Amino acid sequence: MGMFSNGWLVFGLLGQVIFTARFLLQWLYSEYKRHSAIPMAFWYASVLGGLILFCYACHKEDPVFITGQTGGLLIYLRNLQLRLREKKEQARLRVLMQVSRKFRASRSIVEVVHVGRQRVDRHRPVRTSLVRCALPGAVAV
């Protein structure tokens, strides 16, 4: 019997390959962007590889391995949640920008709005009417 005849071993090695490949993904993405950046694929590979390794650790009944993978998985899932929330906010910002451009075309005022940490748009007053374009939870400045 060879080393790869055990299905669980192959499964665990697959998890380790996926988990390790995330660094290659991050490196290539950073080279592409020409600055240090973490792509969404990094977090998906982290979750998938971590989950496979967690299952393998449970099969091996290794409490140290299980604890390490559990902590990592929680962090990867939280980071993925934050990134997905950020993408959702960016989509809202794009809609807000489209709305503000329409109001600019009608020569109305659009005030400066901050959503999260991002500044949305700024137009100078043209007439006395004020058009407030803000998302739920946005703060007008």
Q: Which structural domain range is residue 10 located in?
A: 1-61
In three-state secondary structure terms, 61 is coil
Residue 77 to residues 18, 33, 49, 104, 110, Cα–Cα distance (Å): 16, 24, 12, 40, 37
Helix (H, G, I), strand (E, B) or coil at 43: helix
Give Dmax over CA atoms of the chain in angstroms: 83
Closest to 55 in 3D by CA, of 18, 82, 83, 22: 18
Asked if residue 22 belongs to a domain, the reply is yes
Tell me, yes or no, whether 31 lies in a domain: yes
Q: What token pair was written down for 65?
A: 């391995």
**Span 29-69, pLDDT tens digits:** 999 999 999 999 999 999 999 999 999 999 999 999 999 99
Q: Could you read off the pLDDT of 97-133 as tens digits, one per residue?
A: 888 777 665 544 445 555 555 555 555 444 434 444 4
Q: Are 85 and 59 in contact (CB under 8 A)?
A: no
Report the domain count for the chain. 1
pLDDT at 10 over 80: yes
Q: Which residue has the higher pLDDT, 137 or 68?
A: 68
